Structure 1
């Protein structure tokens, strides 16, 4: 067992250009964003105490307090990745397939290795470090069917004091024998993991049926019951990612009106439920998602990489659906949410939609927190929030620096960062105030 991490510093002041969101710019316009060209973020015991312009707050700091100086750089709340597979880290960028053959050829063999606890621990350590390197401080993560993969991931996240949502994959059909778990045994293992990890430190458990076509009716029933039975539990899965997947689900559940209806029939829609992709859903599915408070993870990079389709953000927003951003590694080809925003912009361009820089960074911060129902803890710098933040360097590469010399507004600088930035633009990542 790792020793508990050291407590956050009792007082820390951070100075730099600070941007955060109070609401969704798509619906609230300019009032959604708060910007301090020269700001101070005051933290006490790892939580936000105060935020404001430097000239007003410097005089209020206790004598001898020297702010951590990030002037010339941009400070934002820590990024939130709402859908990423740590069990697929080692097969990222695997060539030439769409979803179903890609799972068989690449994902399932990679996940098989997590039966080895040493392998699970090694990947978990690398995975969490890679998230932090890219400015991601909170993530909703899919491990594998192995309970040990969940233990390894939560232990690595706890050691780094990260906010993490995860849970053992449930999968008892349409998968290789070496990954198949029984409905009853999977449910029992999930309950033991919930007892061990849910609510510990900054960790939350998510009931995780991989998909409707890889779970039997019995397993789907037990997953829905488990989701309803435990306070503050999450649920995560995949919904309507690929046309072939949708056709398979329709064949397996002919009584359901739609793929979304399958999950709702088994009690898996609701607050703290989040479904990745949602590409091939209809307006009635969207209405049910919005009405039940169920969220969507927009995963543009993997949707392009696997040729799955284009997410309709405008349709989701029109119905008030909570939407976050997911890298979806390993079908997604980068841990960087900056690069993921780059792809999101292009996906929407192809549909005649726009993604403003402000809306983009909202999705990566407060939007992600809202989609996970964690906005009371993270997502912006309101007093009392946990002080996770990322520091971006707009001069990190020669191209960024040259382009930034011609950027005249905050909006333009944000846009350049999301189009040209990657992990090199992350100057620092802080968790509960401490640089990690």
Structure 2
């Protein structure tokens, strides 16, 4: 066992806090900016807000591609770091960055070609919302290379348990963009497009900073196809898992759009708040990825199990705290993002479900991190597919067919969380995820 990174179980709470708190700030930076973006655009009117809901959902899909890269890189880097080989852990980051850059360029080009058709599909056909969403999306997609480079950088730095540099690299560009967004939208007069330009600036600067961190490590920056191939093999299951997530969320937006501009605008508000709470809770998952991967890489299965128990409990506690805060803000928070009374009224249909799922989601996100850190991604892939195809998707399209509105959509999301929670607890109890060694 590598004494330098082996987890001292007595120190586990301090280790968890040391990794989770900086990760919390990093994770919160992007959704806070998106909430600012939503508030700025929301006061332009109902159509721009609905367009942001459609275009922002696609951008979330791109961000999920980054999550796949980051999570796969964290697990592999953490195991190599746990085995005492930092150079190999950083090498994982180099190859992940090449992969991220290539995918980002392809996404940016693809959105210039197909962004309009995608926007029309999600908006329920041609119209003002679809046209505005397509315009926003084509500009915002230019930030995809930087967005994905930053995700890869976060992945390897988390793997080597360096949380300081990601804090600086993410906060700076997001603060800059939060200032630029209202300036570009209103005084400069770019309107909705100003929001997209601010996104691109933040993401590009962020990606450049993470790329600079790799250069500073003084390791070989040469692409290594064999290692990239291994990362792709690991990412395959995470990608399929991500596709199941995104099919669900894209379908939810499409259904909400068919209930009208007010419904999809309210869905955008609730969904971005849900993404915010989910990513904040995911700070615990990131701590779990790093600590579980390092412990298993160092051959300490007992420590990995101990981290899993602690992380799951902390996730539940944090989820309860969020539920209390969200319930208390029911009559106030939607008004921060829209002055339209119909949008605020629609938001209240989703709110009870939004509150109820928080404690469950806290445990789910924490245990997701445990299994990703352990490399047990095939189980997560299968679970997500079953929960999406067997729960979420049928529920939201049933809500459309029966005219249940936004409340029906969010009931489907709650069902999705419940199915995953039960299956994750069963997997944790079985111990089938515990495999020691530098590489799973």
Q: Same fold (TM over 0.5)?
A: no
More relative contact order in 1 or in 2 (CA 8 Å, sep 6+)?
A: 2
TM-score, normalised by the number of residues in structure 1:
0.27
Q: Which has the higher strand share?
A: 1
TM-score, normalised by the number of residues in structure 2:
0.27
